[in-house]
Chain A
Amino acid sequence: MMQDFAMHLLDLAHNSISAKATRLDLKVEESPSRDVFEISLSDDGCGMDEATVKKARNPFYTSRTTRRVGLGIPLLEGTTKQCAGKFHLRSTLGKGTVIGSTLPYKCIDRPPLGDVGQCVAMILQAAPTLHLTLDYAYESEKFRLDSDEIKATLGDVPIDEPEILLFIQSYVQEHIKALQHGGKSQ
């Protein structure tokens, strides 16, 4: 069981990395007023054919050989179902994969969003060459992080230096928190 959605994001991002994605777009939207909570990942990895997409939702399917279960996708689908949300998984072989969930924001069974800053930093630690973007929205307020923008600022300093990762982590945390609190006081 994943405690929060940031963990789902981190877990599913590893699928994209394994699929040799060069680009990964994360989207997170929170809207209490519209009762919407949405996360999605979109990558340009190797993708899956239709049969594999179906199998990927089965916990007893995995493409790996170290074990016989693959729980990442079924866990997100399970969490989504328990909140009567909508889960989607679309993939085109050779093009990439889009996976995500839309849930009612106010559902009592919905796990919290969790630490997206840590999630983003840990994805970049796993795959420093990845072009990663995060689009976060709270109601109509938006925050965007683009790893290429950070790399342009960094020059020849690697993005996976511990100090840089910690900066990215708190940079994301602070911006998300500010939007969430701004929204609450309105």
Chain B
Amino acid sequence: MKTLQDLQKLRDEAKKRVSMREGDVRYRVLVGMATCGIAAGARPVLNALVEACAKEHYDCTVTQTGCIGMCTYEPIVEVLDQDGKKTTYIHVDAKKAVEILESHVKNGILLEAYSLQ
């Protein structure tokens, strides 16, 4: 079972990585986490994004946002680039979330099949 001592070890590794990272990130990834999002399954989506970022260190931040106002399309993931251009992905699940990171955030290729037209 994990203890807080394990956290100390993890801290030293994370510290190196945080200091290595510099300047702005290329993308901001937002997950709608209001009641509608959570009920539709946004938590596993957010969790998959956080997990993938811990593993692959994508050039992005993952943050939560409230209700976007399109509850029927939840879970919604928005990807914002540095110019403020926004792509809205709808009906996202954990698997699609990782695909979005791989394609859009890593390679800069929009996934039109999942995005709101």
A66-B68, A163-B13, A164-B14 known; A125 vs B2 contact (CB < 8 Å): no
- Report the contact-size class of chain A (Cβ under 8 Å from the partner): 35 or more
Q: Are B39 and A161 in contact (CB under 8 A)?
A: no
Confirm or deny: A98 has a beta carbon within 8 angstroms of a beta carbon on chain B: no
Q: Is the interface of A mostly helix, strand, loop or mixed?
A: helix
A71-B35, A126-B33 known; A154 vs B11 contact (CB < 8 Å): yes
Q: Is the interface of B mostly helix, strand, loop or mixed?
A: helix
Contact with A along B8-26 (1 / 0, CB 8 A): 1011011101100000000
Which of B45-53, B81-89, B105-113 touches A? B45-53
Interface residues of A (CB under 8 A from B): 1-2, 7, 10-11, 14, 18, 64, 66-67, 70-72, 75, 115, 118-119, 121-122, 125-126, 149-150, 153-158, 161-167, 169-171, 174-175, 178
Interface residues of B (CB under 8 A from A): 1-2, 4, 6-8, 10-11, 13-15, 17-18, 33-36, 38-39, 43-44, 46-47, 50-51, 53-54, 62-64, 66-69, 71
